[in-house]
């Protein structure tokens, strides 16, 4: 029994009719950016929504361009986002192997079957001839396409080429007349003139097949019922349909999902503003927020609901709500959504997840290296409790709270002097505030604010003028959490030392 026979024997004939089978099939020719995970997520959500099967297949036949570590990077990103798979590398499954380089013989047999049936042919054209052909077409301002030279070779010419051992590729023999109608579940029927479609290469001279053949063979043998892929593949779909017809196979349902665009409406790519999952992780974005955000790029439940748990998305996700227009990757919206998720997080969990970001080296965005590690968890909890409502990412936690941990503040003395004040009046205010703070029996925020407001009135200052000077003195910043709650967490000793230092600066 051949490898193909084994595949055919194992095909899920009944299963495909009962439960959807979907796949994601990336090429490891680069590290996948976050837009690729969006397309993957759509297939995964629908498989989980229907109780179907989600398959991961690695289309690695472009050996020369394969990037080392790309598959591991892909799998790590899936684990971070919480996207699992039922069949594929590592997990395995009965329809494998799931690396296309391990399925080379299968594709070669089907390529030769297409040649025998007249739906494909061997092309012996050299690179030099193809270059001359393209140059001639460019001179005549014709679209670049293969001129079908080898399609019309006689049997004698083909035999001579074979006898000479000439290298060849295999090309699909597209119909020369008529039309091919692509039925897409999102875009409807799309009609193509067959005469406008090139005879694309489906098998290279090194024996490796290309996407136009591999994806069809694998989707059929693996029983894929729904093909979700980017809408940039619509132009290739007529070739794929002709191959399906030539092999006598039933078509899956095609969903060409909208391209992920940047805010400038240009396609998101590694060269154009597309972050990777690792960048988002290192910047402190939560995987559950990114998961939610990606699901909304090109899909919507209604015109108002934006926040979903993973379980809610699985429950409500249907393919009829995928739009045809390009989805926008809006980093500002992701930042907002991430902040919402952080605010909804219990404080104990926030501390647990923020600590690794705060304790990493200063060069990597952590607290200054002078701050002793590991951090005191109880103190860190009190600090983050103050900043909880303001945080948008875990990565910014270290910068936002650093003044709670450092021994010495660095700021411009002029920052102490608030609008409508001068250095002399500010100095008087800080001295009087210091004395009042020293007189407090308890270092509680509710004990601080009333007498400080009375002091401001006594000195003829607005509360904001006095409080602003104290805020800069104890934090080195013009914006902090509520002032007196901040001072309570800082503690009496550290707060008073900083106010004394500010008085020295002004004096």
CA distances from 284 to 40, 51, 196 (A): 22, 32, 49
Residue pLDDT, tens place only, 244-301: 999 999 999 999 999 999 888 888 876 666 899 999 999 999 999 999 999 999 999 9
Give phi and psi for 260, each to the nearest 5: -85, 125
Query: Which class in CATH covers the domain with range 345-406?
Result: mainly alpha
Q: Are 426 and 416 in contact (CB under 8 A)?
A: yes
Query: Which class in CATH covers the domain with range 413-506?
Result: mainly alpha
H helix or E strand, kind and range, residue 346: none
Strands 169-172 and 120-123: antiparallel
pLDDT of residue 13: 41
pLDDT of residue 478: 94
Q: Find how far residue 61's CA is from the centre of its chain.
A: 24
pLDDT of residue 326: 85
Distance CA 142, CA 334 (A): 44
CATH architecture of 1-96+212-344: 3-Layer(aba) Sandwich (3.40)
Domain positions in the chain? 1-96+212-344, 345-406, 413-506
Distance CA 207, CA 170 (A): 9
Q: Would you please indicate which residues are annotated as catalytic (active-site) residues?
A: 270
Distance CA 88, CA 25 (A): 10
Name 254's Cβ contacts closer than 8 Å, sequence gap at least 6.
Answer: 182, 183, 184, 185, 227, 237
Distance CA 112, CA 108 (A): 6
- Segments of the chain with pLDDT less than 70: 1-18, 270-273
Distance CA 321, CA 341 (A): 24
pLDDT of residue 266: 87
pLDDT of residue 274: 81
pLDDT of residue 12: 43
pLDDT of residue 15: 41
Residue pLDDT, tens place only, 219-239: 999 999 999 999 999 999 999
pLDDT of residue 468: 97
Q: Is the pTM of this model over 0.85?
A: yes
pLDDT of residue 263: 86
Q: What is the CA radius of gyration of the chain?
A: 32
pLDDT of residue 18: 67
pLDDT of residue 265: 85
Give phi and psi for 65, each to the nearest 5: -100, 0
Distance CA 342, CA 339 (A): 5
Distance CA 383, CA 490 (A): 8
């Amino acid at each position: 029994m051949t490898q193909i026979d084994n595949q055919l024997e194992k095909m899920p004939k009944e299963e495909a009719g009962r439960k959807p089978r979907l796949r994601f099939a990336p090429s490891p020719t680069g590290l996948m950016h976050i837009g690729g995970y969006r397309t993957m997520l759509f297939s995964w959500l629908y498989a989980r929504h229907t109780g179907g099967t989600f398959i991961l297949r690695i289309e690695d036949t472009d050996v020369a361009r394969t990037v080392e570590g790309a598959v591991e990077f892909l799998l790590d990103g899936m684990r971070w986002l919480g996207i699992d798979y039922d069949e594929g590398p590592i997990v395995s499954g009965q329809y494998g192997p799931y690396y296309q380089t391990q399925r080379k013989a299968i594709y070669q047999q089907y390529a030769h079957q297409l040649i025998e049936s007249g739906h494909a042919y061997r092309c012996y054209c050299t690179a030099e001839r193809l270059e001359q052909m393209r140059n001639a077409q460019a001179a005549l301002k014709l679209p670049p396409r293969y001129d079908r030279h080898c399609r019309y070779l006689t049997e004698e010419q083909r035999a001579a080429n074979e006898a000479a051992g000439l290298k060849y590729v295999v090309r699909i023999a597209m119909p020369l007349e008529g039309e091919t109608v692509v039925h897409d579940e999102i875009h409807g029927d799309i009609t193509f003139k067959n005469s406008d479609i090139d005879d694309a290469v489906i098998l290279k001279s090194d024996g490796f097949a290309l996407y136009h053949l591999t994806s069809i063979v694998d989707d059929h043998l693996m029983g894929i019922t729904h093909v979700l892929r980017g809408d940039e593949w619509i132009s290739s779909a007529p070739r794929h349909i002709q191959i399906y017809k030539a092999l006598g196979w039933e078509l899956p349902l095609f969903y060409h999902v909208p391209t992920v665009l940047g805010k400038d409406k240009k396609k998101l790519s590694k060269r154009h503003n597309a972050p990777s999952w690792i960048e988002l992780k290192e910047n402190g974005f939560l995987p559950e927020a990114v998961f939610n955000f990606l699901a909304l790029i090109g899909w919507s439940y209604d015109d108002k609901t934006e926040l979903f748990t993973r379980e809610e998305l699985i429950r409500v996700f249907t393919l009829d709500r995928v739009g045809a227009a390009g989805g926008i990757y809006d980093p500002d919206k992701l930042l907002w959504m991430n902040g919402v998720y952080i605010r909804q997080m219990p404080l104990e969990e926030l501390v647990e997840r923020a600590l690794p970001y705060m304790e990493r080296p200063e060069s990597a965005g952590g607290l200054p290296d002078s701050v002793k590690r590991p951090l005191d968890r109880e103190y860190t909890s009190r600090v983050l409790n103050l900043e909880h409502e303001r945080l948008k990412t875990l990565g910014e936690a270290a910068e936002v709270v650093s003044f709670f941990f450092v021994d010495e503040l660095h700021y411009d003395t002029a920052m102490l002097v608030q609008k409508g004040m001068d250095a002399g009046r500010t100095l008087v205010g800080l001295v009087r505030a210091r004395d009042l703070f020293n007189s407090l029996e308890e270092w509680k925020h509710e004990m601080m604010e009333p007498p400080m407001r009375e002091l401001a009135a006594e000195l003829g200052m607005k509360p904001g003028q006095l409080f602003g000077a104290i805020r800069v003195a104890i934090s080195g910043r013009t914006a902090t959490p509520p002032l007196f709650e901040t001072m309570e967490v800082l503690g009496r000793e550290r707060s008073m030392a900083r106010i004394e230092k500010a008085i020295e600066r002004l004096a």
